[in-house]
Structure 1
Amino acid sequence: MIVLGVNGFSRVSEFFSERLGATGINKHYLLGHDAAAALLIDGRLVAAVEEERLNREKKTTDFPTHAIDWCLAEAGITYDDVDLFAFPWNWTPQVLDEIRDGIRASPLPPAAKTDLMGDMADLFAQVVSHEAMLADFAARTGHRPDPARVRFVPHHLAHATTGYYLAGLKDAAFLVSDGRAERFSTLTGEIRDGRITVFDDTVTGAQHSMGTLFSAITRFLGFVPNNDEYKVMGLAGYAAPPKPNPFVTDLLTLHDDSRYSFTEPLRTNDLHSHDALFEEYFGPFEDTLAYTSRVAAAAQEMLNVATAHQVRHLEKTSDLDRLLFEGGVALNCLNNTPLFEGSRFEDMQVSFGASDTGITIGAAAHAWLHHPDTAPADIRTAASTPVTPYLGPSYDEPAIEAALAGFTDRVVVSRLDDDEVVEQVAKLLTEKVVIGWFEGRVEHGPRALGHRSILANPGFTDIKDIINTRVKHREPFRPFAPLVLEEQAPEIFEMGRKTNSPYMTFVFPVRDAYKDRIPGAVHVDGTSRIQTLTDEGTPRLTALLRRFIELTGTPCLINTSFNVAGEPIVCTPTDALNCFMGTEIDYLILGNHLIAKR
């Protein structure tokens, strides 16, 4: 059985721009962000790529034409070969009626209610209804799927299934939290034998969305919502939350049924509805590190308190010992470690596709799991097949050489074999240099997981500033993540009950004995967001790290995404060469080519 998962809308950006002014710093109200496609064949994930990697528009909401074309070409199939088309949204007329009922019951003025209900009706008819989505698919691909072969998967169930599938299809409790789905922002439940049970009393409406509130705080601090929340996480390390914290004591209310609410609900028709409240709590906005870090630390504590409250209730409701945390809020890695350590769960997984980048995987997996032709034996086979995040396009030697032909007058190229790549790069990294690392298939999701990375030696105290200013062109307070061998990680970091962190979704304190040895990878609060490496998962990168350790005694390498601020992670060899030439990256590894500038 072949299942194609699709996320993205042709007109959603235009619609929200026209109706809510959702452009630039206000873009977080868009649906379909992180547009992507994914392909399952007989339960095996064979291809997945985000549209932004191909159309070069970061966080694109556009219909994923390029991503779909690549997935089908990678598998050597056409639309006619696809058995099921899965969409990670299920906007039904009932959903629209419930949204309208919520607007009618809101405290908005009558004219504002009328306008907002009209906007929601138009959004439904023009963009997100089943018919609108199928019409969009047909207009952009030339193929209209048979409705009998289409599955519309509720957004949060797609998130939950993403975590379930990528964690090996093992029974688990789950928490999903993001900005909003069709109507809700967060819920809990469990998955047993592929069947999802939602604990209905834990469902929280969009007007009390922790994801949207955190995005509103991101905007208030001068960053782009639904894109720059990680900057707020970075800022939080520079201050302690105020005592008392008004976000916790005045804004957040915890309920006995695991839900939480805000004393002042969010208003989706007012992008700045809480700005005055933030200034009431913290004083007039100041573009200073002292002010912004204090607000960020307060917001971080609020998020931690809210999700811990949900997990405490989930521990009582489910007797399963594994926890899946999915949705955009799950990318808040500062929260994940204390969330797990404070729980009774024996394991907690946050997938590489936890945000909307992964919901095409979840939608496809949900459609496959719930198809009558999917047998238990098929599920067992899929569960025994390891899933890698390296799911996107790769480029062979002819493709790399063709790209290099366009740069011959600007670069010097050395062709190396595999062992020479490891040896040469390890020796280069003993110095204060920055290296672009490009190999294999593009990783899936927002983290740089070692195939499209920028590497450096964390032993230099000023290496973070060098990368931030000369390469990434971004704020100086931003930290960098270290690569570490999985077997050595507990010696260097206080990992508690975690034994690995392959997707940079957990943050750990650096042990005192190592802080001075890897200063470039230690944040101001003494922590690091680590990626653990194994020989099986990333053989050449792991070999490079082992050789680097032999040469230097430094147990980690800095790893950050191969891009500059405002651009997607590079995908093609030409993308990599353009980024290399447009920054002060010293060397580029492109497959087996070592490249320097003339």
Structure 2
Amino acid sequence: MYILGINSGHNSTACLLKDGRIIACVSEERFKRIKNYAGYPEESIKYLLEFAGIKSQELDLVVLGNIMLPPFASAQTKGARPLIVLHWMFSRLRAIWGTVEFKLPFLRPFSEFVYDRAMDFGGPIILRREKRLISLKLAVPEAKVMAVEHHTSHAFAAYYGSRFNRQQALVFTLDGEGDKLCATVSIYHNGSYERIAATHLGHSIGWIYMDVTQLLGMKPMEHEYKVMGLAPYAKSFGTDKVYHLIADIIGLDKRNPLVFRSKFDTHRTLAYFQKILRYKRFDFIAAAAQKLTEAVVVKWVRAAIEQTGIGRIALGGGVFMNVKLNMKIMEMPEVQEMFVLPSCGDESTPMGACFYGYKYLCAQRGEVFLPQPLKDLYLGPEFSAAAIEETLKRAGIFSKYEVRRETEIEKEIARLLSQNQIVARVCGRMEWGARALGNRSILANPSDYDNLRVLNEWIKDRDFWMPFTPAILREKEPSYIENPKEIAAPHMALTFRTKDLARRHLKAAIHPYDFTARVQSLQEQDNPGFYKIIKEFERRTDIGGVLNTSFNLHGEPMACSPRDALLILEKSELKYLALGDFLIYKK
């Protein structure tokens, strides 16, 4: 049974499930080389079908991760202009009316009613067109194309991707907005689920954080992690002053604490912030936004656990990309077991769509529903030694640089790292999602703080305040991080407080101000080659981890192909690239 999941919106992605297991997933940005590309994921789907060795006609079901969406995919077809113009006009009217409503708050219930009815009318029109387009492109009957509500997609991905997807759990979804909602709370148990609370999109803590990102001159829906990284530098006295100005913007409904309530439509927070936060320091604003998010969301999670008595939780939706927030939730005494879906923004909705479609088909066919947890995130393309060698020849690399084919490339990488060299590694299947987990990574010695400057100025061109991250051996966890609940952290979805040894061994790979670390805790079966590198590095240096950051230039997608890797090598001051078992040295 093959099920294809599609997200044609922000960070367009496609995912393929076979007999209950996610076997491949990739975002279109990796092929188009446009960060967070929005549109029909044509190249991604092509890869998925080639990987599985099937034709599109052999798909049992195609599932979209939204039921009300902007016409991203339809925009690529003839005759779509009226639909695009209508969508633009509606967006403009919504913005204008929002200004009126902000000044006259009593109009808010009427505004929400009108908006919902407009979405109920326009959403199905766009969805029908999207289904028709996908049916034509894939040459499958339109009856094989279905859609699932956005937050259900997030919840299915978080719960069925977890290792406890046969047990009862609370599932939280939280994002900017999607299909008229911004947050949900549900109870899942094996194949059954019940949504017990939902928050309308006008009460969005995710939208507030996004507006803070824009207020600080950064790119919304992309640079929120920079706000999070900046926050720890702010002094508490300044943070508290700004926090008191914004603390009443959003909280929990007094009658139902599983629902958020804001004092005005959160789509208007940017204008509000521009007024009340004028001349306030940038770091105080960042820290206050982080403090507000942590305070409100932790209170929300606590209320749900207290109401249901369920301490096992799964988290999905873009707000939970905030790893500092995740740490606060993880440390709550009420939380017994926790899973954060890795890269849980809209790029994860195709996974949830796949699990939803699988459940639907199992019910239709009378088959047992047996979804498999995510084993790892190495779900993208890989390239053979022959393909790599051909790329090197075509690019003239053998004559331009020193190239060696290593029989034990992992040991050679570890040797270079121990000599304080920085090495990029492209090997095996590419990671799905925002985090590099060793196969499309830049690696460095984490004990040398100067590597921060080298990586930032010569290679990554990152903002100076942003920390890097460590990949550590799982057996070194007790020495490096505080993890009393022994929550698994193989995907860089959680931040931990560090111990003194980590602050010496990993000082270039932890936050330099609050000493937290967004770790990748690695076991040998997770990624044998990468594990071997770190193990050999430990043998040489007594340090059980390396600095691990994504192999890309600032503002560009992570490297996918050997060609991408060579372009980054050429454009940066990087000297060493391990491409499969070829080691390239740029003198």
TM-score, with structure 2 as normaliser: 0.87
8 Å Cα contact 1:215-1:225 kept in structure 2: yes
C-alpha displacement at 1:525, in angstroms?
A: 1.3
- Deviation at residue 320 of structure 1 after TM alignment: 3.4
**Match of 1:237, SS?**
helix
Q: Deviations over 1:453-507 (max 9, x none)?
A: 0000011121111101111012111100001111211211122323431111111
Residue identity opposite 1:402 in structure 2:
E
Instruction: Please name the residue that 1:39 is paired with.
Output: 16
Structure 1 residues 596 and 341: alpha-carbon distance in aligned structure 2, compared to 1, 3 A threshold: same
Cα deviation for residue 186 of structure 1 reads 0.5
Pairing 1:225–2:220 present: yes
SS, match of residue 266 in structure 2: coil
- Identity across the alignment (%): 29
Distance across 2 between alignment mates of 1:449 and 1:224: 25
Residues 30-77 of structure 1: CA deviation (Å, up to 9, x unaligned): xx1111111112112121111111111110111101111111111111
Judge conservation of contact 1:158–1:360 (CA < 8 Å) in 2. yes
The equivalent of 1:198 in structure 2 is 195
Q: 1:530-569 counterparts in 2 under 5 A? A: 530-569=519-558
Residues 316-335 of structure 1 deviation map (CA, whole Å, 9 limit, x = unaligned):
23343420011000110001
Per the alignment, residue 588 of structure 1 pairs with: 577
- 2:173 counterpart of 1:176: yes
* Counterpart code for 1:131: R
For the residue of structure 2 that corresponds to 1:545, the secondary structure is: helix
Query: What letter matches 1:4 in structure 2?
Result: L
Distance 1:526 1:117, change over 3 A: same
Describe the superposition over 1:256-303 as per-residue Cα deviations: whole angstroms up to 9, x where unpaired. Answer: 422222223223xx68423324xx24x426xxxxx2221111111111
Q: Is 1:2 matched with 2:2?
A: yes
Listed as ranges, the matches of 1:101-250 within 5 Å are 107=101, 125=122, 129-138=126-135, 141=137, 143=139, 145-168=140-163, 169-171=165-167, 172-200=169-197, 203-241=198-236, 242-243=239-240, 245-246=243-244, 249-250=247-248
Rounded Cα–Cα distance in structure 1 between residues aligned with 2:253 and 2:446:
45
Q: Is 1:349–2:324 an aligned residue pair? A: no
2:172 maps to a residue whose letter is: L
Structure 2 residue identity aligned to 1:588: L
Query: Residues 296-445 of structure 1 correspond to what in structure 2 (within 5 A)?
Result: 296-373=286-363, 378-380=368-370, 382-383=371-372, 387-405=375-393, 406-408=395-397, 409-417=399-407, 420-445=408-433
Q: Is the 8 A contact 2:362 2:368 kept in 1?
A: no
- More off after superposition, 247-256 vs 41-50: 247-256
1:315 and 1:343 in contact (8 A); partners too = no
Distance verdict in 2 for CA 1:319–1:370, change over 3 Å = farther
Partners of 1:562 and 1:487 lie apart in 2 by 26
Q: Distance in 2 between matches of 1:546 and 1:578?
A: 30
The partner residue of 2:38 within 48, 58, 61 is: 61
Matched position secondary structure for 1:170: coil
Alpha-carbon deviation of 1:142? 5.7
> In structure 2, what residue type is equivalent to 1:400?
I
Q: Which moved more, 1:533-542 or 1:550-559?
A: 550-559
* Distance across 2 between alignment mates of 1:187 and 1:485: 35
1:273 aligns to what SS in structure 2? Answer: helix
Aligned AA for 1:536? Q
* Cα distance change on mapping 1:328 and 1:502 into 2, 3 Å: same
Return the offset for 1:395. 0.5
Q: 1:52 aligns with which of 17, 29, 34?
A: 29
**Cross-structure match for 1:27:** none
In the alignment, is the contact (CA less than 8 A) between 1:266 and 1:274 conserved in 2?
Answer: no
In structure 2, relative to structure 1, the CA distance for the partners of 1:373 and 1:583 (3 Å cut) is same
Distance change >3 Å, CA 386–CA 444, structure 1 → 2: closer
Q: CA deviation at 1:254?
A: 2.7
SS in 2 for 1:49: strand
Q: Deviations over 1:2-21 (max 9, x none)?
A: 1111111xxxxxxxxxxxxx
Paired residue for 1:251? 249
Aligned residue for 1:500, secondary structure, equals: coil
Q: Do the aligned partners of 2:172 and 2:185 also contact (CA within 8 Å) in 1? A: yes
**What letter is aligned with 1:261?**
R
Q: Residue 357 of structure 1 contacts residue 446 of structure 1 at CA under 8 Å; is this kept in 2?
A: no
Who is 1:11 aligned against?
A: none
Residues 214 and 326 of structure 1: CA distance in aligned 2, closer, same or farther (over 3 Å): same
The superposition leaves residues 122-154 of structure 1 with CA deviations (integer Å, 9 ceiling, x where unpaired) of: 997599732121233256x263x4333222100
Tell me how far apart the structure 2 counterparts of residues 394 and 101 of structure 1 sit (CA, whole Å): 45
Cα deviation per residue 1:155-181 (whole Å; 9 max; x = unaligned)?
A: 000001111221132332111000101
Count of aligned residue pairs for this structure pair: 551
Change (3 A) 1:366 1:264: same
Question: Which amino acid in structure 2 is aligned with residue 5 of structure 1?
Answer: G
